[in-house]
Structure 1
Amino acid sequence: MLKVTGSAMPAAITLFPFTVSAAAADGEKKEAAAAAPLHRDELSLYAAPPQQKSRYVEPEAGQLEESVATLRKTAEPYTDWCRGTYDKIKPKVQSVVRFGNDAYSYLKNPPKEFYPRAGVIGFTGVLGLFLGRGSRIKKLIYPAALMTVSASLYYPEQAAGIAKSTGDSVYDRAVQSYAALERIVKPQSKAAEDPETKP
């Protein structure tokens, strides 16, 4: 049994020092127990409970979790392949969608005289198909050539830019092909002309 002496106000107990008298245990004298002052932390009422070390135990997987994990491992190569294919196709699909949106907005508010020009260019393509009867090569060359000529009449600046860039690229390819052919042919001719290389 504890007997607390000190201030009468409960809130002031924590602020001011006070004396605690404890009852004697079995076989001890009351005077000895009453004479020894106890600190507040030594009382069991204010002592913190002993700390227990806790550890996390992984719960055992059930049959459903095991079957889902097996299914996931089985499907993982296929999902990785689909993800890789999607990552490769996604930019192309986005560019096609962007081109479609741009074409739709352009055709919704076309510039003046767009549809008559498009009709004439389309008519020249049909005329090229009519003139190219009899041969598959003519069916490819005539419509493309006639549509190119009629489009260049209506859009000369764009046609000149495309012709210039195409001409430059064709010229560059021709020079590269000539240089490659020269490298292939020249060493053989040097080896045939040089008598020191012969054994």
Structure 2
Amino acid sequence: MPGIFSMLQTTVLAATDGDQEPTPLINRDELSLYTVPRQAAQYTEPEAGELEQSVANLRKLVEPYTAWCQVTYDKVKPALQTVVDLGHDTYAYSKGHPKDFYPRAVVVGLAGVLGLYHARGSTIKKLIYPTGLMALCASLYYPKEAAAVAKSTGECAYDCAVQSYVAVEKILKP
């Protein structure tokens, strides 16, 4: 129906300017009823003030550093999440610890002190003896956990050894 009405000619009574004769029949599309006269006013962007210019300059200066911080954060985020999860797990374990947890912790700590006592002199001994004695005591009290840690440590050590071998092989071969 709208298509048919657009083809029909209709009589329109309109005011004319001065001496013009009225046009007898015109199409609806020829009417200037919906045209908007051009306006002389145009929108102009206000000039930036001193504060806005200072903020824009500051943003341009800081942009490389913020990009670097974002990239660094994206790299470090998984490690941070692992540390946070470990902290939550440790807190949950310490809240619901077994009844003989504290005596075992004391024995493991004393093994570390004994290791420090026997490691007089060498720095390497000071690293190996306390750690080894504490790991030995802890593995006696917690054999399942010690087996899991030994397995994951062994896999990690194997991966590091393979990567080191490949790196040395690349260096030595021309």
Q: TM-score, normalization: structure 1?
A: 0.55
Of Structure 1 and Structure 2, the greater strand share is in 1
Cα offset, 1:129, TM superposition = 0.9
Partner of residue 122, structure 1: 109
Partner of residue 60, structure 2: 73
- Going from structure 1 to structure 2, the CA distance change for 1:170 and 1:129 (only over 3 Å counts) comes to same
Residue number in structure 2 paired with 1:106: 93
Distance 1:167 1:87 in 2: 29
Q: Distance in 2 between matches of 1:76 and 1:133?
A: 52
Flag as ranges the 4+ runs of structure 1 deviating above 6 A: 36-39
Check 1:90–1:58 CA distance in 2 against 1; reply closer, same or farther (3 A cut): farther
Q: Deviations over 1:53-101 (max 9, x none)?
A: 5797441423333333233222222222222223223332232222212
Q: Larger relative contact order (C-alpha < 8 A, sep ≥ 6)?
A: 2
> Which residue of the partner structure matches residue 51 of structure 1?
36
Task: Pick the structure with greater CA Rg.
Answer: 1
Partner in structure 1 of residue 48 of structure 2: 62
2:158 equivalent to 1:158: no
Aligned to 2:121: 134
Q: CA deviation at 1:167?
A: 5.1
Aligned partners of 2:60 and 2:151: how far apart in 1?
Answer: 56
Structure 2: 5+ residue stretches without partners: 1-11
Structure 2 CA distance for partners of 1:162 and 1:135, relative to 1, 3 Å: same
Aligned residues with identical type, % of pairs:
50
